Amino acid sequence: MSWPSPSGGQQTGQIFEGDRRFPIIVRLPEDVRSRADEIGRHRIPVGGTNEAGIRNFVPLADVARVEVVTGPNQISREDGKRRVVVTTNVRGRDLGSFIEEVRQRVGAQVEVPSGYWVSYGGTFEQLISAAQRLQIVVPLVLLLIFGLLYALFRSFKDSAIVFSGVPLALTGGVAALLLRGMPLSISAGVGFIALSGVAVLNGLVMLSFIRQLRADGMGLDPAIREGALTRLRPVLMTALVASLGFVPMAFNVGAGAEVQRPLATVVIGGIISSTMLTLFVLPALYRVVHGRAGLRESEHQSPKSLA
């Protein structure tokens, strides 16, 4: 059998000093408490007395096995159940794929006894919670952006044209992460949200000017050409300021680099792709959409003019 170590001692009373209480602890000397053989020689009383009326004592080693063993220095509990924590620090890979591999190996190689279970918490639990929030926040942000565009233009077509900058910006951000070998983390998700606003802003600058030129009486093709050339520098300035400001974060290797680098990489890569869309694809897309609309209007009005 195992016998608990007497290093903690036994409380035999209390000392009162004013309103303070101090326990009285009786324990063996330090040189005895540190040696298992000395503890085994410690005598303990047993039932009964000898012929002289003196109580019988026997060495502790006669009734117990005294030995030094390795055991837990703390027993943690949660919800009334014991909990054993195994901690690890992940380096050189993303946390999500690491936990997925751990789950597969534990499920295939570890037999969990009845009444036991394995759960994964810590930073991974926070990652799951943040990912669930992003699944709600990102669609709401995109809907809010489109709603603001529609409130500005009062046109579903023009709002969709400007909003088309978001998918290509997101594509550029994903491509930048792949080129740098970075996982899709929470900080990268925040970068995608910021990137959506910048991409829409560039398209808004150009499309608003084209609409103004057309409202002043300029034709479709001249308005698109003039708007693209006139708004070239503002769009490039917006893209350069936003992207160059994130360059130090993209190459940071100090404290906080694991958060800053994915965010900056997404923003820089997305701004490059969204700028290309704004300068080349958006004018062409506007020409296709409104060119077809103007052609349908002319075809619809020509029978009336002949009549």
Domain ranges of the chain: 6-63, 130-301
Q: What is the pLDDT of residues 2-53, one digit of tens each?
A: 444 444 677 888 888 888 888 888 887 887 777 888 888 888 887 777 777 7
Look at residue 306 in the predicted model and tell me its pLDDT.
37
What amino acid is encoded at 27 in this protein? R
Look at residue 305 in the predicted model and tell me its pLDDT.
41
Residue entry with tokens 């077809």: 292
pTM of the shown model? 0.57
Give the pLDDT band (50/70/90) at residue 293. Answer: low
Position with higher pLDDT, 163 vs 306: 163
Contact in structure between 41 and 58 (CB atoms under 8 Å): no
**How far apart are the C-alpha atoms of 9 and 56, rounded to whole Å?**
23
Look at residue 292 in the predicted model and tell me its pLDDT.
64
Superfamily of chain region 130-301: Multidrug efflux transporter AcrB transmembrane domain (1.20.1640.10)
Look at residue 8 in the predicted model and tell me its pLDDT.
62
Which of 171, 177, 235, 170 has its CA nearest to residue 209? Answer: 235
Q: What is the 3-state secondary structure (H, E, C) of 43-102?
A: EEEEEEECCCCCEEEEEHHHHCECCCCCCCCCCEEECCEEECCCCCCCCCCCHHHHHHHH
Look at residue 6 in the predicted model and tell me its pLDDT.
43
